[in-house]
Amino acid sequence: MLRTGFDEMQNRSLGARRPPGQVLLFDADDTLWQNYIHFEQAIGDFIEFLDHQHHSAEHVREVLNDCEAANIRRMGYGLASFQASLVECFERLMTAPPDADQHQRIAGFAQTIATQPVELLPGVEATLAELATRHRLVLVTKGHPLEQWDKLRRSGLEPLFEHVEVLREKDPAAYAHLVASHGWPPHRCWMIGNSPKSDIHSSLAAGIHAVHIPHEQTWVLEHYEVAQPEHPQQLVRIGTFADLLQMF
């Protein structure tokens, strides 16, 4: 079970609505639209393709997680990195590198993700449209820039954001630089997302507020135990995207 350090906290009262003019920084994947479920499907197909007689599905996932962590450091996020991880996982578990046909099959598992339609999560479009009438909306995502921009344009949400940042990594330094470079007052900035590590922990460490919207499936490399910040910095957990309208 995912533990974030505040998963035992009840969904507390959201209090009075914050005044207009807040800077709302939104994660994209699995906050605005479905994403990880497509990777899960590709990984499931890959494991079935392996049909490995000596390693359980759980062990294959462990090896793949190790491959992904290493390739992210080397290549960054995106489908090319994911495909490289599938190939490396195959090579570690099998007795020989994939032949041409096997390599094409593995590449196909990654490429199916690129063709998936952008499925907005419930309440996202209407909530963003209303929030944009009172606050500044900024998209802060990580990954391959071309892939992230493609999803944003296909989502139809691009006009609602006054600024878009596609970061190589969402760490405290990246958030601090983003806020400082735009001159946004940290006490008015809120990072809103589903990932405990990159959305919540990193933004809190950079000195801004955070809102956690849990997703039923969150990548294991994004699991993190997050501590409540010191007052006046705020961390709030909500159940649905539309709950943001009670806060802002």
Q: How far is CA 218 from CA 24, 44, 115, in A?
A: 22, 16, 21
- Residue range 87-107, pLDDT digits in tens: 999 999 987 788 999 999 999
Contact 199, 37 (CB under 8 A): no
Structure pTM? 0.88
Name, in order, each residue with C-beta under 8 angstroms of 152's C-beta and a sequence gap of 6 or more. 28, 139, 158, 164
Four-residue CA torsion sign, 167, 172, 177, 183:
positive
Tell me the pLDDT band of 6, cut-offs 50, 70 and 90: very low
Give the residues across from 99 on adjacent strands: none
- Residue range 63-91, pLDDT digits in tens: 999 999 999 899 988 999 999 999 999 99
Return the closest-CA partner of residue 209 out of 227, 184, 191: 191
Domains identified in the chain and CATH numbers: 23-33+118-247 (3.40.50.1000), 36-114 (1.10.150)
